[in-house]
Chain A
Amino acid sequence: MNPESRKFHHPMMRIRRFEEKCAELYGEMKIRGFLHLYVGQEAIATGVMSVLTPEDGIITAYRDHGHALARGIPMREIMAEMFGKSEGCSGGRGGSMHLFHRASRFYGGSAIVGGGIPIAVGLALSDLLCKRKRVTACFFGEGAAAEGVFHESMNLAALWKVPVLFLCENNRYAMGTAIERELSRVDLTEKARTYGIPALRVDGMDVRAVAAETSRAVEQVRAGEGPFFLEFATYRFRAHSMYDPELYRNKEEVSEWKKRDPLLLEEQRLRDEFGFTDHDRMELEREVDREILESVRFAEAGTLEPVSALLSNVYKRGGAGWRTEG
């Protein structure tokens, strides 16, 4: 395969095809619950993860498949989690919105908007106190900027100069509410700067821009200069979740944004500058398809946790918390 396409194109393609497969499996009732697809936003997770080290920590929200894949959590474990199987990366207990993988320092997966942000601040605080040169990457959407805890956390992070990288994926809609209908001032970087946090707006559809700007920001955070805030301008091509009839936006807007599809942009760049061919494209598709099919087979063959284990993992120390007379 074209070696340059390995860098960004292949990881983005993995996410895109994985998500499409998930939508299909949802239709077949293999995946249930909420399913929030990342289609359109792949450049952000891919670009950011490309510059993090294995020691860095990651906190994300409920639209988390892309981040998990880009971080390197095995696809089959993510798929098994979608199926609620024991082999899933969260043992089947979490599901789509709660992907965890301690070995990758991937700490989920919060389904409460903004809920993960102070946890990221604390994770970064632990690195500061232990004098570890790590960065905590904290992903959230622009909708989180309306939550009180967003502002509390920005203030605390800046006050204590913790090594956290705030990564705001501005896809313009908090579920169905457009940013202009939600925020009195729509410049998110301005909010961060108010707290004394350096902030930058980045084209979230251009994976190389994402990687380059994140790399600079990470360097600064790792050097001990405190938090950094990146706002990525992006768009989600699919509905908010599988239940969303998309009454709040028009098709023209969606198709306008699709012209800036991050995969198309990167593929064009590969063709223009790195000799990417139709044959490379075919090879790439085939490899990704194989991995996805294998992950589905793995998930299908996975085991359902016995109901006798229902009360496990409520307390690490064991027990269900209510001591009843034996």
Chain B
Amino acid sequence: MANGRVRMTYREALRAGVREVLLREPLAFLMGEDVGRYGGSYAVTRDLLAEFGPERIRDTPLSEAAFTGAGIGAAIGGMRPIVEIMTVNFSLLALDQIVNHAATLLHMSGGQCNVPLVIRISTGAGRQLGAQHSHSFEGWFAHIPGLRIVAPATVEDARGMILSAVRDPDPVLIFEHMMLLGAEDEIPAAIQASDLDSARIRREGQDVSLITYGGSLFKALEAARVLASRGISAEVVDLRSLRPLDDRTVFGSVRKTGRAVIVDEGWRSGGISAEISARIGEHLFRNLRAPVGRVCTKEVPIPYPKHLEDEALPSVAEVVAVAEEQVRLHV
């Protein structure tokens, strides 16, 4: 630790966040598949069982619908449950509980039954896990009124977002990109909550806005460095929250640059990138100097072979190419 700062990985930050919640909030507990003895499928919850005991670190059967529903019930009963769904691919087995129940109970009850539930879900592709273990469904979930959807892309957010999420009176889904787990950064030693609804400018620029979130943030930042070496100044916007979307920050950036490229690991058709693009079109038509560009995952189930998986996912080279094309238009 130097100057009140510590160096840690995204994985360690996720663990520090969960641990801090359990220390501060006596009503919080964690449940999910292999979160206890195994230490978490991605080792995020390692050692928490020893520290907090089996009442608060609860291994569950492979019953996504039941333990997600149990999280909803426990939340109604006054607890602050954190449900871990091992991967977003398995969250589909709990979709009825998340969409038909967690998202609707407050409304259907006329405001009587809020659901202060946190669901942590690992997401994304990049490890040759094949079509059923490589989905990015956070954009889908962002379609649903009643849910809050966040995607920490930085080590600091990985630690801080869950602190705000557990205090939120509504269901919050945290999407943790599995390719970020080993990413390292130096962050303040003092643990602080990160807000759940604002976007951040991660790099300032003048010529084009690269709008992204989660696992694609570092691709966008890398693309910005490449673009800088070619004389193009790119601004990088980290959305952080997909619902609500922070239009103000996005629009502010695009107003300044006049160009927008959205980078999203979801598929292009009907995805969150389409929503962001539509909003920019609706509000900033006169400010645009080029059509909105998008770099998304190709419309194919994620293939197993490395070279095809790489080809399917958004790449730094594609982001650079689309951004350069936009600047070249000189409208």
Which A-chain residue is minimally distant from B146 (CB atoms)?
A: A314
Q: Is the CB of B96 within 8 A of A112?
A: yes
A317–B74 Cα gap in the complex (Å)?
A: 19
B301 at the interface (CB under 8 A from A): no
Which A-chain residue is minimally distant from B99 (CB atoms)?
A: A112
Q: Whole-angstrom distance from the CB of B183 to the nearest CB of chain A?
A: 28
- Known contacts A118-B67, A126-B79; is-contact A108 B109 (Cβ 8 Å): yes
Q: Is the CB of B146 within 8 A of A126?
A: no
Q: Is the CB of B248 within 8 A of A119?
A: no
* 1/0 contact string of A110-146 vs chain B (CB within 8 Å): 1010010111111111110110000010000000000
Q: Whole-angstrom distance from the CB of B142 to the nearest CB of chain A?
A: 9
| Among candidates A91, A102, A156, residue contacting B66 with C-beta atoms closer than 8 Å | A156
Q: Is the CB of A88 within 8 A of B110?
A: yes
Q: Is the CB of A122 within 8 A of B145?
A: no
Q: Whole-angstrom distance from the CB of A325 to the nearest CB of chain B?
A: 5
- Known contacts A94-B109, A149-B96; is-contact A122 B69 (Cβ 8 Å): yes
Which B residues lie within 8 Å of A308 (CB)? none
- For chain A, give the interface size range: 35 or more
- Known contacts A118-B73, A121-B66, A316-B170; is-contact A94 B96 (Cβ 8 Å): no
B76 at the interface (CB under 8 A from A): yes
Q: Is the CB of B73 within 8 A of A126?
A: yes
Q: Is the CB of A108 within 8 A of B108?
A: yes
Q: Is the CB of A323 within 8 A of B248?
A: yes
Which B residues lie within 8 Å of A120 (CB)? 73
Which A residues lie within 8 Å of B72 (CB)? 118-119, 122
A88–B78 Cα gap in the complex (Å)?
A: 24
Which B residues lie within 8 Å of A220 (CB)? none
A248 at the interface (CB under 8 A from B): no
A155 at the interface (CB under 8 A from B): yes
Q: Is the CB of A323 within 8 A of B101?
A: no
Which A residues lie within 8 Å of B109 (CB)? 90-91, 93-94, 98, 100, 102, 107-109
B100 at the interface (CB under 8 A from A): yes
* 1/0 contact string of B236-262 vs chain A (CB within 8 Å): 000000011111100100000000000
Interface residues of A (CB under 8 A from B): 57, 59, 88-94, 98, 100-102, 107-110, 112, 115, 117-127, 129-130, 136, 148-149, 152-153, 155-156, 159-160, 312-317, 319-325
Closest 7 CB pairs of A and B: A122-B73, A91-B110, A118-B69, A126-B77, A152-B66, A122-B70, A100-B109
Interface residues of B (CB under 8 A from A): 29, 55, 58, 60-61, 63, 65-79, 81, 96-97, 100-101, 105-114, 145-148, 168-170, 197, 243-248, 251, 283
**Known interface pairs A153-B66, A316-B106; 10 further A-B residue pairs with C-beta atoms within 8 A, sorted by A's residue number:** A94-B110, A117-B69, A122-B72, A123-B73, A124-B73, A127-B77, A153-B70, A315-B148, A321-B148, A323-B245
For this complex, 19 residue pairs linking A to B, each with C-beta atoms less than 8 Å apart, are: A93-B107, A93-B110, A107-B76, A108-B108, A108-B109, A109-B109, A112-B100, A118-B67, A122-B73, A122-B77, A122-B81, A123-B76, A124-B73, A130-B79, A153-B63, A155-B61, A316-B169, A317-B169, A324-B247
